[in-house]
Amino acid sequence: MNVNYFGYYLHDHKTNKDYQIDLSDLFDSISNNKYPDINSNLYYNGDRIYPLPYLGSTYLLIQSRDNELIKFIERATLKHEDLSTKLGTANSVGMASYVKFEPNWIAIVSKVLSPRIQALSHIINHFIRCLGSDLEFKLAAFNDKVSKKDIVKLNHVSSISIGLNASSSLTSKLVGTLLGNGYPATSDIGGIEIRLKPSSSKSNLKKDLQNIAINIPDSDIDELDARGKIEATDRMRDLYIHGSGGLKDFIRPRYEHEIPSSITKAASLNTALQAKIKEFSGDPNYIKTSDPHAIGLNW
């Protein structure tokens, strides 16, 4: 499971000011249905959205059109153990997303059919509007970038991902080879993603990454990133060489109830994340406040 990390803040469009405020209590209130009139009208792309308490600062985020599941969730006596069982048998919902909500930052684990960070942002903004505020909840991606010239300094590279845009000559050649009919102008293919994997767990693709950075023009690449580490003592993490991407971790919990502790452990061990959280929290471009009423946010 991938864990994606984001900073968050509130933007005032009237003054163009950005505020950092701890919204974890607000999200806890949302998840515990303390505003039932608002909770009953949470939708995203036509689906009902349910933020629900799970364990500690980790919450479930469920998106569904399944009427049976909706009725089940809306039972006042619902426990997360019951919901876990129900989710395992529901046909119209994949699995819930797991959201760890902390002061100034969020971690989210999503599966193929579960809601993404966009759905979370949407419902939080809906709540803020319903509480009478014009502020907008916004996300800040935590990026871990490595310049092309610094690739040589990497200790180890375990995998490489390349995103080629539609205008790349490589895209034309690859699509033509795959489809057998060239690259027609009417094609709906907008690009190609390539992932290079090592031949063994000990293989180091550092030299391959260097060659890619040298041989493929930036104009052909939407994104170039690698899974690797800078120092021998570092943990493996996602490194972005070209384009932008957010910090993430990969967790392997054996059971569902281990997901919250797995997220917490991964976040605490990710030194790049901790540095980004510290940098973001101390950014002087954001106005810090602990009083929601001072910025017109009434909860």
| Residues 15 and 117 reside in one and the same domain | yes
| Residues 266 and 135 reside in one and the same domain | yes
109-164 pLDDT per residue, tens: 987 678 888 899 999 999 999 988 999 999 988 876 788 888 999 999 999 999 89
Angle at 41 between CA 38 and CA 125, to 5 degrees: 65
| Residues 135 and 105 reside in one and the same domain | yes
206-245 pLDDT per residue, tens: 999 999 999 999 889 888 989 888 888 877 877 888 865 6
How many separate domains does the chain show? Answer: 2
**Which domain range does residue 213 map to?**
148-245
| Residues 88 and 184 reside in one and the same domain | no
Strand partners, 136: 11
Boundary-marking domain end, from 245, 265, 284: 245
Instruction: For residue 291, give Cα distances in angstroms to 8, 21, 32, 217, 294.
Output: 16, 8, 21, 49, 5
| Residues 118 and 183 reside in one and the same domain | no
- Is the overall model pTM greater than 0.75, yes or no? no
- Taking the C-alpha atoms of residue 160 and residue 1, their distance in angstroms, rounded to an integer, is 18
| Residues 227 and 285 reside in one and the same domain | no
pLDDT at residue 45, as a whole number: 80
| Residues 137 and 154 reside in one and the same domain | no
115-125 pLDDT per residue, tens: 888 899 999 99
